[in-house]
Amino acid sequence: MPIRAIPLVNGEYYHIYNRGVAYLPTYSRKKDYERFIQCLDYYRHNRLPCKLSRYLQSLHNFLVTHANAN
């Protein structure tokens, strides 16, 4: 994956596109939109323990393990 030449920094404003090509909606399912919002919320923090996908997998594994233990 290429590295950004200009880093994203705190305290700045960025335009987030909310529609696709030919004015089609960017998100056709509510689940996709909710994942986007979850991603924005996760990556707004400065010190992240890991990538969002790894965090979600760890959380899933934790919940499955504890659900099976009960």
Total structural domains in the chain?
A: 1
pTM (predicted TM-score)? 0.54
- On whether residue 43 sits in a domain, the answer given is yes
Q: What does the alpha-carbon distance between residue 55 and residue 52 come to, in Å, rounded to a whole number?
A: 5
For 50, the domain range is: 21-69
Q: What does the alpha-carbon distance between residue 47 and residue 42 come to, in Å, rounded to a whole number?
A: 10
pLDDT score recorded for residue 31: 94
- On whether residue 4 sits in a domain, the answer given is no
- On whether residue 27 sits in a domain, the answer given is yes
- On whether residue 6 sits in a domain, the answer given is no
pLDDT score recorded for residue 39: 87
- On whether residue 46 sits in a domain, the answer given is yes
Could you give the percent of the chain with pLDDT greater than 70?
91
Question: Is it the case that residue 30 has pLDDT exceeding 90?
Answer: yes
- On whether residue 58 sits in a domain, the answer given is yes
With cut-offs at 50, 70 and 90, classify the pLDDT of residue 24: confident
With cut-offs at 50, 70 and 90, classify the pLDDT of residue 70: low
- On whether residue 1 sits in a domain, the answer given is no
